[in-house]
């Protein structure tokens, strides 16, 4: 369903939201959805707005946001924009399941359309903090954490904020939100909590548009901090990575729904371990059976 948000901003609601900025018959699309069906819906929405799609901006390289980009590009001839790191994955989407599976050729369960999007050539690498498309002046807002170079797009009073945060019901359903860099994610969420983004409307990648993102951002920040505290607590006893993940799920009272969910959650736990190690709170050691993580015998405390 297409919904107007600001004077010239719209959102096509779906499993992954698709944003529209429309000025003088030209449209900039923010994310392209999961597949060719999402691309068809986006093209139809542009027609309803009596606008021609002049650019497709991908906020981050997860299949549910760029999987429809190639189909939409073929339909419209519009160039695709993305930040440099995310562009590499959009053009080489096997990288997403590859790193979920530890860098090895991914198993079949990790090569469905939700984790392996259709490749699409990125025409423009976004480098700065401003962007102009057909005279439409856009702000590029850096929102790393969920993905390394995730961006948001600001226009007039609306910020398309990608997957910087998830609806509270999604947090409750999935338990462990996907995160590649814990410290960056917490900093991004803290910026929303502190009101650093001067916009009246916030359109996330999932869920309903918001006028006040603070409660949802606080909930996301609190959940990531909770996961960090749980992992640190587990490491009072030296533990192997699978045990850390299993015990984290147990203490959060959640279960892994399927193979993909397991590997997504594992990435977040790895991000927590990397953050704790960077702070000097934990260390990884080897023994005859592999590696274990443990708290450092002498080091700072978690909430020092």
pTM: 0.96
User: Among the residues of 110-205, which ranges form H helices?
Assistant: 168-174, 182-193
pLDDT at 88 (0 to 100)? 99
Q: Residue 297 — very low, low, confident or very high, per pLDDT cuts 50/70/90?
A: confident
Would the pLDDT of 104 be above 80?
yes
pLDDT tens profile 22-37: 999 999 999 999 999 9
DSSP output for 48-99: HTT-EEEEEE-SS--HHHHTTHHHHHHHH---EEEEHHHHHHHHSTTHHHHH
Residues composing the chain: 304
- Give per-residue pLDDT as tens, 231-264: 999 999 999 999 999 999 999 999 999 999 999 9
How far apart (Å, rounded) are the C-alpha atoms in residues 120 and 269?
30
- Main-chain dihedrals φ then ψ at residue 289, nearest 5 degrees: -105, 5
- Residue 212: Cβ within 10 Å count: 11
Place of tokens 């916030």: 202
pLDDT bucket at 304, cuts 50 / 70 / 90: low
The pLDDT tens digits of the residues spanning 50-92 come to 999 999 999 999 999 999 999 999 999 999 999 999 999 999 9
Q: Which domains does the chain have, with CATH numbers?
A: 2-163 (3.60.15.10), 224-295 (1.10.10.10)
Q: Give the tens place of pLDDT for each residue, 259-274.
A: 999 999 999 999 999 9
Q: In which band, very low, low, confident or very high, does the pLDDT at 38 lie, cut at 50, 70 and 90?
A: very high
């Amino acid at each position: 369903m297409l919904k107007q948000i600001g004077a010239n901003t719209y959102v096509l609601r779906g499993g992954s939201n698709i944003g529209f900025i429309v000025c003088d018959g030209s449209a900039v699309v923010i994310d392209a959805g999961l597949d060719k069906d999402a691309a068809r819906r986006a093209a139809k929405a542009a027609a309803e707005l009596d606008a021609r799609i002049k650019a497709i901006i991908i906020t981050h390289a997860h299949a549910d946001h760029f999987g429809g980009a190639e189909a939409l590009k073929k339909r419209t001839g519009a160039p695709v924009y993305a930040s440099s790191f995310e562009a590499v994955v959009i053009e080489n989407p096997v990288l997403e399941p590859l790193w979920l599976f530890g860098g090895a050729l991914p198993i079949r369960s990790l090569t469905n359309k939700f984790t392996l999007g259709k490749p699409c050539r990125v025409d423009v690498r976004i480098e700065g903090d401003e962007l102009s498309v057909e005279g439409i002046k856009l702000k590029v807002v850096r929102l790393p954490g969920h993905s390394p170079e995730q961006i948001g797009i600001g226009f007039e009073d609306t910020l398309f904020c990608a997957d910087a945060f998830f609806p509270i019901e999604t947090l409750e359903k999935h338990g462990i939100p996907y995160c590649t860099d814990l410290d960056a994610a917490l900093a991004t969420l803290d910026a929303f909590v502190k009101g650093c983004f001067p916009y009246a409307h916030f359109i996330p990648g999932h869920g309903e548009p918001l006028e006040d993102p603070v409660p949802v951002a606080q909930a996301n920040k609190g959940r990531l901090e909770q996961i960090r505290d749980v992992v640190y607590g587990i490491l009072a006893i030296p533990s192997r990575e699978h045990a850390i993940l299993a015990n984290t799920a147990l203490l959060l009272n959640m279960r892994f729904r399927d193979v993909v969910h397991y590997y997504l959650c594992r990435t977040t736990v790895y991000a927590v371990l990397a953050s704790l190690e960077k702070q000097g709170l934990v260390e990884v050691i080897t023994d005859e059976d592999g590696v274990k993580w443990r708290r450092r015998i002498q080091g700072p405390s978690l909430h020092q």
